[in-house]
Amino acid sequence: MKYMENFEEAQKQDRLRGKMLKYILYKKRTEMEVRQKFAEEDENAVEDAIEYFKELGYIDDWNYIERSVQEFISLKSLSMKEISYKLCQKGVSKSLVEQYIMQHEEELLEFEKNSAKKIWNKKIQNGDENSVKDFLYKKGYQQETIQQIP
């Protein structure tokens, strides 16, 4: 009888891991996103599966940050604050985001300057300098970045 219970538990865990793997492979996910998606499942089984996928490298918030930032750099014009906010929204811990930003500060500052210049060049045609500067400030660009643009 004990053997059947263990077998059924193993099958449940296997099904959960299969569902979780499909979810993770479809799109890069943070640990929090996986937890939220499978919140209805058995908590211990979810925890075991998450640890299993973390060991295999399928769930890795640091890697998620790196890939997301590279995507932001190639596709968007964002301030460092916006990058931080977007990552925290996805459930990455603020301390991990801050650690990444500190380690890549030079690269991210350069990206922020280039992003601000793009926005400046686009918006200056339709408005005055002060309104564009206000816009950049509201978007989270650093004061010194904004002052260096014109």
**Domain parsing of the chain, residue ranges:** 2-59, 62-148
- Among 87-91, 105-109, 132-136, the minimum mean pLDDT is found in 132-136
Q: If we measure between CA atoms, which residue out of 19, 26, 5 comes closest to residue 49? A: 19
Where residue 2 falls among pLDDT bands split at 50, 70, 90? low
Higher-pLDDT residue of 72 and 123 is: 72
* pLDDT score at 143: 87
For the chain, counts of helices (H) and of strands (E): 9, 0
In tens, the pLDDT along 36-57 reads: 999 998 888 899 999 999 999 9
In tens, the pLDDT along 73-88 reads: 888 888 889 999 999 9
